[in-house]
Structure 1
Amino acid sequence: MAFSGGLLASLVGTTYFLAGEVISLVVGVCGTALYFATFKPQLVSKKRKSSEFVKTGIPGFDSTLSVGLKKNSSVVVSGPPGSGKTTFGLQFIYSGAKEFDENGVYISLSQSIDEIKNDCKAFGWDIDELISKGKILMIDLRPFKIKDEVVGRDDSLYRGEQIPFEHLTKFILNSIKKIKAKRIVIDSISILGMQYSDKFYMRQGLQGMIQSLENFEVTSLLISEFLESEKVPPEWFVTSGIIQLDNQIINNEMKRTIKIIKLRGIEHSEQVHSLELGSNGLYVYED
């Protein structure tokens, strides 16, 4: 029996429970083939508590803009260079491990781990201690240099060949499993999208990844480079939330701002708020 590509694509993110012993998760599709990842049953729950919220740990955000993020949701943090996106993601991971006892995975596709650690230390964050305790896992994927489950840094990457989304998804899920993470940041999803000239495949692969992350009961932030003059990126359509950061010139000074475009199922501010990058990280003001 032949199945259409649309039908197969709709199965991405589907979870199957087999004999109560293992779980199979559809992580990708290529042509008429489905790709599965298999895990122990205790790692994934059949029921998700969608009514619970996750505090970002960013002062002013949870009290001024929102009650927090919906647990197990995926949210895009978007904006131009220098608007504070990476710091937002790092603060989300750091605060989760430090204040809320939620382990986190930070995946960098643009900076080295040493650079990221130095940024954290500049804010006075004891990131090395949390890493040594297994509370935070930082992974350097510039560009996708994992040998086994993800295509590495070799000639195939530069011949324009696409890196299968299912390989990256499986690697990410295994990383979550390794430290029992509840939070994950991918910085940035825009770099991942550069390998796909066809936005349909980018959107399909990203949707499968997001559904897999939600089934794994983690709250995800996807960092996205975006200028208002550009077309809306695919990740905006497949996530449950969009947080927009920006740089604006006010009285001849550059000011950072933050606004929530959408947070599905959560009442939130629709105003533009000032965002300060201070000595301890980001702070949101009630304007």
Structure 2
Amino acid sequence: MDSTYSKVKTGIPGLDSVISGGFKSGRSVSISGPPGSGKTTLGLQYLYSGAKDFGEPGVYITLSQNIDEIKNDCKSYGWDFDDLISKDKILMIDARPFKIQDDLIGKDDSLYRGEQLPFEHLTKLLLSSIKRVEAKRIVIDSVTILAMQYSDKFYVRQGLQGMIQALENFGVTSLILSEYSERDDYPVEWFVTSGIIHLRHTRKADTMERTIQVTKMRGIKHSEQIHPIDLDSNGLHLLHPRLMP
């Protein structure tokens, strides 16, 4: 089973060893967790490593944070996104529905027009971006803000399924970031993606501990162990991962 699919290496130390060498090419994986758990860092590290080390261009779409802030944060890890952007290896898009411009809060017509189909707008933006840089990797950070615009979870699931099917038809390997805590219901994206990686940020004695767990990876043999993770000057890495046979 594991030897017949094309593997996409994550570039995150320790992660590939617990998912039999990498993600399935052309599939979508949910990366979920509470604030501060490392979701954005994981997504950016996956994109940066893909473009720099594996020759796979990528697209990063943010729905929650300013692009310049994100790029500045990445410099603390030694990741020069501006260099990769100048070489058309990375495309970073600010697709926030609301942006502050000229001291005013304005709506971005590309995603929010008072319509009930924000996933359609995002899907069109994604597909045009993929074509622009011939992307192989996608990170969406995060779908939670889009899901909040729907009152009926059926329409969230329908919108997500359409978007994910379109991405998989283009052969890109996507990370779908979302906010989740143990008190919440299971997020809809867990049911429509091929994999689930759950990040946690919990109190342990007088410190906070970050952990990662692969809870679903369809068609791939993987560890279900909860692994501690660390964020240092090189980015995110798993501590003492148990190697898969």
Please give the TM-score of this superposition, normalised by the length of structure 2: 0.90
Alpha-carbon distance between aligned partners in 1 of 2:227 and 2:122, rounded to the nearest angstrom: 35
Do 1:64 and 1:284's aligned partners in 2 also have CA atoms closer than 8 Å?
no
* Other-structure match for 1:255: 209
**1:118/1:51 Cα in 2 relative to 1: closer, same or farther (>3 Å)?**
same
* Other-structure match for 2:101: none
Do 2:34 and 2:179's aligned partners in 1 also have CA atoms closer than 8 Å?
yes
Which residue among 43, 46, 49 is the counterpart of 1:92?
46
Do 2:19 and 2:220's aligned partners in 1 also have CA atoms closer than 8 Å?
no
> How far 1:162 moved relative to its partner?
2.1
* Cα deviation digits, residues 148-203 of structure 1 (max 9, x gap): xx345xxx54xxx4244222211210110000000000000111111111100110
Compare 56-65 and 98-107 and name the one that shifted more. 56-65
* Other-structure match for 1:111: 65
> How far 1:254 moved relative to its partner?
0.7
2:210 partner letter: R
Q: Calculate the aligned-residue CA RMSD, in Å.
A: 1.7
Alpha-carbon distance between aligned partners in 2 of 1:93 and 1:146, rounded to the nearest angstrom: 25
Do 1:67 and 1:268's aligned partners in 2 also have CA atoms closer than 8 Å?
no
**Higher RCO (CA 8 Å, separation ≥ 6 residues):** 2
1:91 partner letter: Q
Compare 53-62 and 242-251 and name the one that shifted more. 242-251
Alpha-carbon distance between aligned partners in 1 of 2:118 and 2:50, rounded to the nearest angstrom: 30
> How far 1:62 moved relative to its partner?
0.7
Alpha-carbon distance between aligned partners in 2 of 1:162 and 1:96, rounded to the nearest angstrom: 34
SS of the counterpart of 1:282? strand
Alpha-carbon distance between aligned partners in 2 of 1:65 and 1:247, rounded to the nearest angstrom: 21
1:169 partner letter: T
* Other-structure match for 1:130: 84
Do 1:76 and 1:235's aligned partners in 2 also have CA atoms closer than 8 Å?
yes
Taking the TM superposition and a 5 Å limit, the aligned residue runs for 1:8-19 are none
* Other-structure match for 1:6: none
User: Is 2:188 the partner of 1:238?
Assistant: no
Do 2:209 and 2:228's aligned partners in 1 also have CA atoms closer than 8 Å?
yes
Compare 169-178 and 59-68 and name the one that shifted more. 59-68
* Other-structure match for 1:203: 157
SS of the counterpart of 1:139? strand
Do 1:64 and 1:285's aligned partners in 2 also have CA atoms closer than 8 Å?
no
Alpha-carbon distance between aligned partners in 1 of 2:32 and 2:111, rounded to the nearest angstrom: 27
2:72 partner letter: N
The percentage of counterpart residues that share the same residue type is: 64
Which residue among 128, 147, 151 is the counterpart of 1:174?
128
* Other-structure match for 2:231: 277
Report which of the two structures shows the higher radius of gyration computed on alpha carbons: 1
Structure 1 gaps of 5+ residues are 1-49
Do 2:61 and 2:140's aligned partners in 1 also have CA atoms closer than 8 Å?
yes
> How far 1:285 moved relative to its partner?
1.4
User: Is 2:22 the partner of 1:76?
Assistant: no
* Other-structure match for 1:220: 174
Alpha-carbon distance between aligned partners in 2 of 1:230 and 1:198, rounded to the nearest angstrom: 16
1:216 partner letter: F
Do 1:64 and 1:286's aligned partners in 2 also have CA atoms closer than 8 Å?
no
> How far 1:65 moved relative to its partner?
4.6
> How far 1:67 moved relative to its partner?
1.6
Alpha-carbon distance between aligned partners in 2 of 1:203 and 1:111, rounded to the nearest angstrom: 24
Structure 2 gaps of 5+ residues are 99-106
1:120 partner letter: C
